[in-house]
Structure 1
Amino acid sequence: MRELTMDDVKAAVKGGSVYAAGGGGWPDHGLEIGSAAITIGKPKLASVDELPDDAIIVTATAIGAPAGRDWEMRGRDYIRAVELLMENFDGKVVGVMTPQNGMSSTINGWLPAAALDLVVVDATGDMRAHPTGKMGSMGLAARLDFQTIQVVVGGRRDTGSYLELVVKGTPAKTSTILRTASDMSGGFIACARHPLPIHYIRQHAAIGGVSKAIELGKAILEVEYKGPEAVMRAICEKTNGQILACGKVIHNDVMYSGAFDIGKIVLDVSGTPLTLHVMNEYMAVDDAHGKRLTTYPDVITTLSVKTGEPVRVGDIQLGMELAVFSISKKYIPLSSSVRDATVYPEVERALGISIAEYALNPDC
């Protein structure tokens, strides 16, 4: 168990931005929340083996769409969400974890951990960012025998959209309610959910997800002064990832709808189109002939050719020169969520493409 520092905050945002897959929040938000965490307390990163089997861990994160524009979420909203869950849970909460890596989501739980004297657990519900809460629920999405608690807090105070909501029930039903609340609050909202014993986390989470993001971030920071090619090379080498193609953005129809960003981004790669399917994050890439090149749970990220830095879906503009980067799922820790067939139909319907046949096939 070690104390997290400002160097860890910077590295977690850098590395988390690669695993963000085009979503997972905002770098500035991550730096702001992380800086606040180490200012008000001394959050500690704990491995899953450093806590007793019955230690209760809560998932702390945010829900919404990266391109949402009408939201307000303050640092105290993250703290309040965890507080409300603890008030409604009959037991002692020991730590927090994140359901995914991201530009800010890698460290969303650090602030409530610092404020409430909890530990940050080095595990993630999914190694990369994903669009639905079910995809980071560590195999709970389809369980009818598990009654969870989910909390959301946030929204613009000046427009009256601020909400505090506590719901109890099955993960599937409560997750749908929380997504609606996020949309009503302006598109992005703080969340705490799923109090679980650490022995469950050990079996079902992506273990070491936070430290892997920090390690990647440190590798990026070490070479940034050398320029974009050095950054992209470091990312590839550290993750066993690869650059699939480089091209110019010629089409972007991603639109906000019901707390999701959904659509396609098309690159011109040497005169042929490359299509990236988006639901908050990049979920799949097809070549000009419709051949699938990479699919969730692979990490799929766009990198700026000019800087080597990851580019958010919400920041992509026509004419941008981007590199499409991918890490095969065989090189990342996979949680039980990835192997849960029930999390895919919602995303497949929204995008009109197949994902499950790849995600659930161990040979792909």
Structure 2
Amino acid sequence: MTATGVAADSEAAAPAQTISAEDLPAMVAGNQLLCSAIGAAGVDGVTVCVEALLRRHGPVPLVGLDSLPDDALCASVGAVGAFAPLLELPPCGDEFELAVGALEARIGRRLDAVVSLNAAGPNALFPVGAAAALGLPLVDCDGMGRILPLIHQTTYALAGLPVTPLAGASQTGDVVVLDTGSRRADALLRGVVDASGGFMICAMYPATAARLREAAIEGSTSRILRVGGLLTSVSGRGALLAGLARTVGARVLAHGRVVEVAGVGRTEGTRHYPSMPSSIVLAEPGEAGRIIRLEAQNELLLALIDGAVAAAVPDVLCMLDRHKLRVVGLEGVEVGDDVDVLMVPAAPMWHTEAGLGLAGPRAFGFPVSHPSEGGRP
């Protein structure tokens, strides 16, 4: 981070003051851990776009919610649609001004700050670009703490914040404003997204800082920067795992060699990656080694060890190459890879009954309980 540098762990990390172009490599690296193995599809083009905006407009202030007045108006910025179009037509930066301008026109008030929809994957970078293009601060919080497929799968929604009015802008200049009081917002928006090229930058969840303090996961962006600092600077496996444990509470569920990569992952009505596996099987070393099965629908969602659920969404699951010390994405996993399976715990709000109902394993079609439910059916 421009003012302080990226620290190696949370104990030593000072609060971020600004995000500059020089901080993007750490942000990209930190994203890889918190994406639930979704990989880096489209991130290169997004990074180029955001870097250009930061160099043109200067560093973005990164502020905490407590530093904003209660009535400061914020809105979440994020991408909706498939990541594949990013490879063909990355955003040029105008989309942020178009989307936010349309939302401001709808609500009749200018924004005071930008907030992340979900600070993971490309959606961790887009709010930085939006803040740079608009000359606004970025609030150090988000509504998921990971990647989830639907725009109402957020802690914002859990706290009762309406997702609309919502405004979206495509790479080709299409602009739409959506206002509905139901969860049809996601389905309605995706129909427009598909018709406009499969991808839109959206501004949504307009709310005051006072309301966001009850709804947001705080510290999300600075957490990514600290994780990225670890992944780009620590050379030993033990030191890296210890740093990740201190920084994000990561723990190793198991380790083993990939022995099977099967199926094609998809989430109906959302993103579709034809080449991504729907399950990965690992075997621990030794005669008594356990069998680990990872289930995916674009992201890793469920980990079973010898048939028992060991971890599940909304907690973050990822794979770390034990030798190269890099995160292994679903698009790149291969038989023979030697990996640690890590779990990063979700924010406490996700472990409530309402949180698990919205983004727990059953929300993705898995007829199992989350481990935190203690076997409750």
Q: Tell me if both proteins adopt one fold, taking TM over 0.5 as the criterion.
A: yes
Task: Tell me the CA shift for residue 150 of structure 1.
Answer: 1.7
Select which of 322, 325, 328 maps to 2:342: 325
Task: Tell me the CA shift for residue 166 of structure 1.
Answer: 1.6
Q: Map 1:117-196 to 2 at 5 A.
A: 117-136=135-154, 138-139=156-157, 146=162, 148-154=164-170, 163-170=174-181, 172-196=183-207
1:93 match? 111
* Percent identical: 20
How has the CA–CA distance of structure 1 residues 311 and 51 changed in structure 2, closer, same or farther, with 3 Å as cutoff? same
2:243 match? 234
2:315 match? 298
Asked if the contact 2:357–2:363 (Cα under 8 Å) also holds between the matched residues in 1, the reply is no
User: How many angstroms apart in 2 are the aligned matches of 1:128 and 1:14?
Assistant: 14
1:105 match? 123
How has the CA–CA distance of structure 1 residues 255 and 336 changed in structure 2, closer, same or farther, with 3 Å as cutoff? closer
Select which of 227, 232, 246 maps to 1:216: 227
Select which of 353, 357, 361 maps to 2:367: 353
Task: Tell me the CA shift for residue 229 of structure 1.
Answer: 5.9
Cα deviation, 1:186-239, whole Å, max 9, x if unaligned, reads: 54432211111111111111111111111222232221xx26665445334433
Asked if the contact 1:249–1:268 (Cα under 8 Å) also holds between the matched residues in 2, the reply is yes
Residues 8-17 or 202-211, more deviating: 8-17
Is 1:2 matched up with 2:26?
Answer: no
Residues 24-33 or 279-288, more deviating: 24-33
Q: Name the aligned partner's letter for residue 297 of structure 1.
A: P
Select which of 28, 32, 51 maps to 1:13: 28
Select which of 257, 275, 300 maps to 1:247: 257
User: How many angstroms apart in 2 are the aligned matches of 1:359 and 1:178?
Assistant: 33
Task: Tell me the CA shift for residue 54 of structure 1.
Answer: 0.9
User: How many angstroms apart in 2 are the aligned matches of 1:25 and 1:58?
Assistant: 26
Residues 94-103 or 70-79, more deviating: 70-79
Select which of 277, 285, 288 maps to 2:295: 277
Aligned pairs, number: 349
Q: Name the aligned partner's letter for residue 217 of structure 2.
A: A
How has the CA–CA distance of structure 1 residues 322 and 252 changed in structure 2, closer, same or farther, with 3 Å as cutoff? farther
Cα deviation, 1:145-182, whole Å, max 9, x if unaligned, reads: 94721222225x5xxxx743221112512122223334
Asked if the contact 1:95–1:121 (Cα under 8 Å) also holds between the matched residues in 2, the reply is yes
Task: Tell me the CA shift for residue 4 of structure 1.
Answer: 1.6
How has the CA–CA distance of structure 1 residues 67 and 295 changed in structure 2, closer, same or farther, with 3 Å as cutoff? farther
Q: Name the aligned partner's letter for residue 180 of structure 2.
A: G
1:34 match? 50
Aligned to 1:93, the other structure's residue is in SS state coil
Task: Tell me the CA shift for residue 116 of structure 1.
Answer: 1.1
Q: Name the aligned partner's letter for residue 191 of structure 1.
A: C
Task: Tell me the CA shift for residue 324 of structure 1.
Answer: 1.3
2:70 match? 53
Asked if the contact 1:279–1:351 (Cα under 8 Å) also holds between the matched residues in 2, the reply is no
What is the TM-score when the length of structure 1 is the normalising length?
0.82
Asked if the contact 2:39–2:330 (Cα under 8 Å) also holds between the matched residues in 1, the reply is no
What is the TM-score when the length of structure 2 is the normalising length?
0.79
User: How many angstroms apart in 2 are the aligned matches of 1:67 and 1:320?
Assistant: 25
Q: Name the aligned partner's letter for residue 99 of structure 1.
A: L
Q: Name the aligned partner's letter for residue 208 of structure 1.
A: G
User: How many angstroms apart in 1 are the aligned matches of 2:198 and 2:329?
Assistant: 16
Residues 197-206 or 124-133, more deviating: 124-133
Give unmatched runs, 5+ long, in structure 1.
Answer: none
Cα deviation, 1:57-108, whole Å, max 9, x if unaligned, reads: 1101112345678863413223422222222222221111112222332221
Aligned to 2:183, the other structure's residue is in SS state helix
Give unmatched runs, 5+ long, in structure 2.
Answer: 1-15
User: How many angstroms apart in 1 are the aligned matches of 2:158 and 2:232?
Assistant: 36
Asked if the contact 1:59–1:194 (Cα under 8 Å) also holds between the matched residues in 2, the reply is yes
Task: Tell me the CA shift for residue 123 of structure 1.
Answer: 0.7
Residues 304-313 or 292-301, more deviating: 304-313
Asked if the contact 2:116–2:124 (Cα under 8 Å) also holds between the matched residues in 1, the reply is yes
Asked if the contact 2:265–2:298 (Cα under 8 Å) also holds between the matched residues in 1, the reply is no
Residues 276-285 or 308-317, more deviating: 308-317
How has the CA–CA distance of structure 1 residues 96 and 147 changed in structure 2, closer, same or farther, with 3 Å as cutoff? closer
Asked if the contact 1:294–1:326 (Cα under 8 Å) also holds between the matched residues in 2, the reply is yes
Task: Tell me the CA shift for residue 322 of structure 1.
Answer: 3.0
User: How many angstroms apart in 2 are the aligned matches of 1:11 and 1:273?
Assistant: 33
Asked if the contact 1:73–1:190 (Cα under 8 Å) also holds between the matched residues in 2, the reply is no
Across the aligned residues of Structure 1 and Structure 2, the Cα RMSD in angstroms comes to 3.3
User: How many angstroms apart in 2 are the aligned matches of 1:249 and 1:183?
Assistant: 37
